[in-house]
Structure 1
Amino acid sequence: MAIEYREWREGDDLALMEIWGDPETVQAGQFRGTLAPSGNSPWRRCIVAEDVVDGVAIPVAAGVVHEASLHPERLWAYIEVDRHHRRTGVGSTLLTMLRHEAEQSPSGITRLRCKVEPGTPGAAFAAAAGLEPIQRSRLVVVEPGALKLPVFGDGSEAAAAEQVEDLATGSVELSDVVGRYYTVVHAWDSPGDLSIATVQRLFLNELSGAHGAIVLRAPKSSAFGEGVPASKKGRIEAFAVSYAELAPAAGEEPAQAASGQPTEVFLGHEPQLSLEEARASVRDLLALIAFQHPVLLELDDSMAALLGVVEPLLHNGKARVQGAETLVVSDPA
């Protein structure tokens, strides 16, 4: 075995996919899309390992490191090695080369991060390389009727309408609370400054897949103090942004799948609420949106209020984890 290393070239993707076969994990499938020619806008360095046999060079592994506009305090890195060339030092050599490239990044950032699935060769390689878990993420399906419906005010339809509202995804008010919530629950890997336009692009416009939003508001308040009838809308306490339903399972008709497939939802709250208030608001909104149809949530361990609502549902069988956990691993600080 004679291994040589070079920069990524056009056509390497096809050659490597033929050698690698299907992705072993969801994360591998996502990160394969980052393997591309090196460049500076955005900054990226991609290296290929070739096994030279009888003068013929065959790509067998590749690694990439690149900057990110979202979560800019670390560099993303990914390495994949053909099964027959693992434990031969190819992956370690690629990592050493990527670390050398990272020292030249325009931002001056050198710490690496990646996503892995626990118990896989990728997770073992990351641990051996010194990368440590900084976050755990799970996809959780909340079953219909998992939570008792809340009662608002005097229990009337009018009282509920004051607090529960369909809101346009283009709303600046919604964009503001979504951006601040995302920043707070990702303090472990700061997303940087999120403008309203950035929040719209990432989470709320048609290209992001968003097609609707429901918010839970605080009860109406008076703009003129006590004794004056309340007329001012209460602030948003919790939000749920829904995305396109998941693809039908194999063999299902679209209409058949629509009734049973969960709808992906980004659920969060006003970050200035106390933990108890946030948990209550998230619980009430989740009860509403999951009353008749299953809901799919991405649950990070940093989402304390949502975690407090969903964990009991997992324990009593009213919610379930879909697929494997994802760990974000990083170089130590």
Structure 2
Amino acid sequence: MAIEYRSWREGDDLALLELWGGPETHQARQFRGALAESSAGTNGTPWRRCIVAEDVLDGVGIPVAAGVVYEASLHPERLWTYVEVARDHRRSGIGATLLTMLRREAEQSPSGVSKLRAKVEPGTPGAEFAAAFGLASIQRSRLVVVEPGALRLPVFPESDNGAAGENAGSDVVMDLATGSVELTDVVGRYYTAIHSWDSPGELSVGQVQKLFLDDLTGAHGAIVLRAEPGSAFGPGVAPTRKGKIRAFAVSYAAPTQDPDGRPLGDTGAATDVFVGHDPALESADAAEAVRDMLSLIAYQHPVMLELDDSMTALRAAVEPLLAGGKARLAGPETLVVSD
């Protein structure tokens, strides 16, 4: 076996897919799309270096592995990297050579950033490879389905505007348009707060909308839990302004296809939601607000949410449900690893 290394060329994707077959993990499915021709990082194109390993026989090279490192506009403090080697060529040093070459390329990135990160699934060859080369976990993420009625509904007091019974809480639980500037602000601040381990940088209103609330994201509804409304004229006077947002939930349109493009049909799948809170809240208040929000949105139908270890308020609500069988994992855990 004679292995040679070169830059990515057009057509390599088809040759590699024919040899690799279907992706072994969700991370492989996600990052195979990053394998592409190298870029200098000009004209709005992110800087990228992609290297292919060929098995050469009688002067003919067959691509068997590839690796990529590239800059990201979101979370710019690290470079993303991905390496994949054909099953019958593993444990022969190809992956190690590719990673070494990519680390050298990373030292020349235009931004000066050279620290790497990747996503792996625990217990897989990818996770073992990452650990062997000094990439340690910096975050764990789980997809969790919360079953209907897993949490008791909160009891809201009668409001100052006279709402009671079924209408109690109408001044604190509200639908909100996904284009709301108020919602955009709290979503952006929450996302930044829970990613202190890998800063997203300064997020503009437009970026937050594009990432979480734009029609193209599938966002089709939002509900917020507000603080009790206040009055500018003191107690006993009808409130003149809405309370600040304590917690939010953004729901997304159900997918019509699975990750491999097969139609799902009507499966009764859980609704995909993004749940968070105002990061300015004290920890106990944040935990209470998130728990109340989760009880409302999962009262009659199952919901699916992403649970990162950095989401302490959401973990406080969800982890007891996992332990008690009222919530379940929707797939394997994902680890973000970094050097």
- TM over 0.5: same fold? yes
1:187 counterpart SS class: coil
1:21 aligns with 2:21: yes
CA–CA distance in structure 1, aligned partners of residues 302 and 58 of structure 2: 56
2:93 aligned residue? 89
10-19 vs 153-162, greater mean Cα deviation: 153-162
2:270 aligned residue? 262
1:281 aligns with 2:281: no
CA–CA distance in structure 2, aligned partners of residues 296 and 284 of structure 1: 16
Q: Given residue 220 of structure 1, which amino acid in structure 2 is its aligned partner?
A: P
2:161 aligned residue? none
CA–CA distance in structure 2, aligned partners of residues 48 and 8 of structure 1: 6
1:161 counterpart SS class: coil
1:170 counterpart SS class: coil
8 Å CA contact retained: 1:77, 1:112: yes
Report the Cα offset of residue 283 of structure 1. 0.7
> Over residues 133-174 of structure 1, what are the superposed CA-to-partner deviations in whole Å (9 max), with x where a residue is unaligned?
000000000001101111112253333211111100000000
2:150 aligned residue? 146
CA–CA distance in structure 2, aligned partners of residues 126 and 77 of structure 1: 11
Pairs aligned (count): 328
CA–CA distance in structure 1, aligned partners of residues 232 and 254 of structure 2: 40
CA–CA distance in structure 1, aligned partners of residues 26 and 325 of structure 2: 25
1:222 aligned residue? 231
Q: Unaligned stretches of 5+ in structure 2?
A: 159-163
1:206 aligns with 2:215: yes
CA–CA distance in structure 1, aligned partners of residues 264 and 212 of structure 2: 29
User: How much is the aligned-residue C-alpha RMSD, in angstroms?
Assistant: 1.5
> Over residues 249-302 of structure 1, what are the superposed CA-to-partner deviations in whole Å (9 max), with x where a residue is unaligned?
899973x42xx2101100000101111111111111111111111100100000
**1:161-180 pair list within 5 angstroms:** 161-180=170-189
- CA 1:132/1:251 → structure 2, altered by over 3 Å: closer, same or farther? closer
The structure with the largest helix share of the pair is 1
Counterpart among 43, 54, 73 of residue 50 in structure 1: 54
**1:89-128 pair list within 5 angstroms:** 89-128=93-132
CA–CA distance in structure 1, aligned partners of residues 192 and 330 of structure 2: 25
Q: Given residue 282 of structure 2, which amino acid in structure 1 is its aligned partner?
A: S
Q: Given residue 246 of structure 2, which amino acid in structure 1 is its aligned partner?
A: E
Q: Unaligned stretches of 5+ in structure 1?
A: none
CA–CA distance in structure 2, aligned partners of residues 191 and 156 of structure 1: 43
Q: Given residue 38 of structure 1, which amino acid in structure 2 is its aligned partner?
A: S
8 Å CA contact retained: 2:256, 2:264: no
Tell me the TM-score normalised to structure 2 length: 0.94
Report the Cα offset of residue 224 of structure 1. 2.9
CA–CA distance in structure 1, aligned partners of residues 101 and 176 of structure 2: 49
8 Å CA contact retained: 2:256, 2:263: no
1:4 counterpart SS class: strand
8 Å CA contact retained: 1:75, 1:110: yes
219-228 vs 320-329, greater mean Cα deviation: 219-228
1:149 counterpart SS class: coil
1:87 counterpart SS class: coil
8 Å CA contact retained: 1:131, 1:330: yes
